[in-house]
């Protein structure tokens, strides 16, 4: 199709989307989010170890096993796509909000309050999209994803969801007109993107962003740090398996450079280490050096941090369980042996003081492009 006709079609669809008004009650929205939170609370309250762990050595020949390479590379998606995984993504949203003290890091609060157009790429269950659209009712929020786990009826009137296959099929461009979006948000998408997709995708983001618009990536490092031996072995197999699939598990470190090469300005990386179930030891002489009120405040803060780090540990265990169908193939383990292998991880993380890094990378499109 001629580029001008395609742009005209995108513009018409975009205008129709912005014109649609969805009526929703705050009670209905709260009910939906409450259902997610209840399922998540139930999942996080379950013990992470259900039986005595039996450490299973990972065979070095795993990824060269006859026929196994094709299973590793042809598996449609490394994470399970079911309701449990969507619930995990919901709880991850709230944990990341706590970790970064906000739902976003880009300097756009005043614009959001006045009213702009926001695109959430890979919106999943739509939690970020709905919460942001509730917090900023004058702005329009559009969430796109390959799956349809996002809400179809119960959502704020300024919140819209669309199924979008191009990212999966690597058939760009995105279905939005040039210079139509003020702010693009993308979180935890590297589990699904091929290495060769990143460059054309960022070029598409540059195309659809308005001059002066902002883009924000929230992505984790895939390798845990200060990892116990068994977790190090799992890290190695995870990274090797992703590379075999032609994915780039290290892209989070390269994104600032890629953004700069593509003409983005004001590039900033905010790094947040996330402890998995352990806390910094309190000073033994704390009570003798500061007042009792300050001690109480510090103890309450430490208690909150402790609860948060335990929740992050549980969250990461849920991630490993979501990876199980694919990662167990990479590790050449049955599902049962895989469960045995990771069962003691939380205790080992606490002892080794293991953590994982999350990166928030923000950048601005030049006003003169």
Residue 302 lies in a domain: yes
User: How far apart are the C-alpha atoms of 228 and 146, rounded to whole Å?
Assistant: 36
Report whether 364 contacts 107 (CB < 8 A). Answer: no
Q: Which of 232, 317, 228 is CA-nearest to residue 48?
A: 317
Q: What is the mean pLDDT of residues 252-269?
A: 98
CB atoms within 10 A of CB 11: 14
Q: Which of 125, 155, 126, 159 is CA-nearest to residue 140?
A: 159
Chain segment 82-131, per-residue pLDDT in tens: 989 999 999 999 999 999 999 999 999 999 999 999 999 999 999 999 99
In terms of average pLDDT, the best of 31-45, 73-87, 128-142 is: 128-142
Chain segment 176-204, per-residue pLDDT in tens: 999 999 999 999 999 999 999 999 999 99
Helix, strand, or coil here: 139? coil
Residue 41 lies in a domain: no
Pairing of strands 209-220, 355-364: antiparallel
CB atoms within 10 A of CB 348: 18
| Confidence at residue 38, expressed as pLDDT on a 0 to 100 scale | 53
- In order of 97, 253, 265, the CA distances from 258 in angstroms are 26, 10, 11
Bond from prior residue into 173 cis (ω within 30 degrees of 0): yes
What residue numbers bound the domain in which 201 lies?
57-364
How many separate domains does the chain show? Answer: 1
Q: pLDDT band at 267, cuts 50/70/90?
A: very high
Residue 12 lies in a domain: no
Report whether 173 contacts 166 (CB < 8 A). Answer: yes
User: How far apart are the C-alpha atoms of 89 and 69, rounded to whole Å?
Assistant: 28
* CATH number, position 267: 3.40.50.150
Residue 2 lies in a domain: no
| Confidence at residue 228, expressed as pLDDT on a 0 to 100 scale | 96
Residue 342 lies in a domain: yes
Residue 46 lies in a domain: no
Average pLDDT, the chain: 83
Q: Check pLDDT > 90 for residue 140.
A: yes
Question: Would you mind telling me the total number of residues written for the chain in this entry?
Answer: 369
Residue 96 lies in a domain: yes
DSSP state of 277: S
How is 160-225 classified by DSSP, letter by letter?
A: EEEE--HHHHT-PPPSS-TT-EEEEEEES-TTT--GGGHHHHHHHHHHHEEEEEEEEEEEE-SS-B
Residue 4 lies in a domain: no
- In order of 12, 277, 298, 302, the CA distances from 292 in angstroms are 64, 27, 10, 15
Residue 359 bridge partners (DSSP) = 219, 271
């Amino acid at each position: 199709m001629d580029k001008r006709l395609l742009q005209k079609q995108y513009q018409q669809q975009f205008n129709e989307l912005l014109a649609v008004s969805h009526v929703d009650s705050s009670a209905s929205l709260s009910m939906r989010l409450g259902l997610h939170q209840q399922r998540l609370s139930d999942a996080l309250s379950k013990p992470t170890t259900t039986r005595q762990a039996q450490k299973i050595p990972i065979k070095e020949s795993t990824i060269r096993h006859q026929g196994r390479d094709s299973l590793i590379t042809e598996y449609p998606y490394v994470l399970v796509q079911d309701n449990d995984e969507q619930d995990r993504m919901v709880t991850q949203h709230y944990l990341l909000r706590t970790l970064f003290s906000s739902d976003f890091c880009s300097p756009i609060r005043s614009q959001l309050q006045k009213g702009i157009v926001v695109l959430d790429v890979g919106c999943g269950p739509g939690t970020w999209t709905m919460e942001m659209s509730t917090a900023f009712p004058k702005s329009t929020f559009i969430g796109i994803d390959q799956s349809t786990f996002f809400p179809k009826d119960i959502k704020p009137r300024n919140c819209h969801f669309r199924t979008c296959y191009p990212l999966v099929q690597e058939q760009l461009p995105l279905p939005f007109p040039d210079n139509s979006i003020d702010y693009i948000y993308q979180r935890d998408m590297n589990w699904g993107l091929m290495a060769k997709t990143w460059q054309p995708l960022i070029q598409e983001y540059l195309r659809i962003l308005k001059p002066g618009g902002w883009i924000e990536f929230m992505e984790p490092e895939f390798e845990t740090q200060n990892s116990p031996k068994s977790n190090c072995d799992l890290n190695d197999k995870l990274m090797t398996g992703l590379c075999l699939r032609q994915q780039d598990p290290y892209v989070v470190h390269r994104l600032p450079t890629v953004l700069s090469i593509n003409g983005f300005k004001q590039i900033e990386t905010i790094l947040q280490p996330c402890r998995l179930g352990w806390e910094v030891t309190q000073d033994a002489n704390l009570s003798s050096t500061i007042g009792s009120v300050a001690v109480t405040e510090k103890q309450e803060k430490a208690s909150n941090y402790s609860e948060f780090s335990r929740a992050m540990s549980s969250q990461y265990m849920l991630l490993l369980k979501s990876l199980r169908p694919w990662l167990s193939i990479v590790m050449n383990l049955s599902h049962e042996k895989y469960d045995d292998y990771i069962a003691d991880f939380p205790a080992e993380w606490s002892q080794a003081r293991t953590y994982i890094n999350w990166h928030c990378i923000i950048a601005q499109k030049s006003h003169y492009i």
